[in-house]
Amino acid sequence: MNTKQIKHFFKCDYPRLALLTTGRCLSESSVKPIKVNISERGGFAYYQNVFALVSTTIAKLENTAVHPYRTLIIERYIKHTRLKDVELLIGYSERTTCIKMNEALLCFANEYNKQADKYNLEFRFQ
């Protein structure tokens, strides 16, 4: 799985998806478990389901001192916090923070793909 694709999704596609489905820009409060409604069909419902699944997946990521995945994704891609500030927040060095960031992105993508299979959504990370 390519972390560049996942980073691009968080930087470009996820904010647009949030704006389309909620009418608001991304905020930390938008990252919460949202029920996926697979009974609805159609273009807009599909985007709502993808947004719901992404938000739910982020909200359910591990957030411990060893694996601060949720914090990393929210701080870096939702709040747009500088990497230096994220380092101070989680207490790791620059190199370790980058490694943990890539782990967080891969963990997110793996969990999202599992849930997308469960709900039969077409959008997946490859």
pLDDT tens, N- to C-terminus, the chain (126 residues): 789 999 999 999 999 998 998 888 777 666 777 777 766 667 788 888 899 999 999 999 999 999 999 999 999 999 999 999 999 999 999 999 999 999 999 999 999 999 999 988 888 998
* Per-residue pLDDT at 87: 95
* Per-residue pLDDT at 41: 67
* Per-residue pLDDT at 26: 76
Range list of H helices, 1-126: 3-8, 14-22, 43-59, 69-73, 83-90, 94-119
Q: Where does residue 121 fall: left (phi above 0), alpha (psi -120 to 50 degrees), or beta otherwise?
A: beta
* Per-residue pLDDT at 73: 96
Tokens of residue 124, six digits: 């997946």
* Residue 27 CB burial class (10 angstroms; 0-12, 13-18, ≥19): exposed
β-strand partners of 68: 63
The Cα-based distances of 19 to 12, 13, 28, 104, 124 in angstroms read: 11, 10, 14, 24, 20
pTM equals 0.89
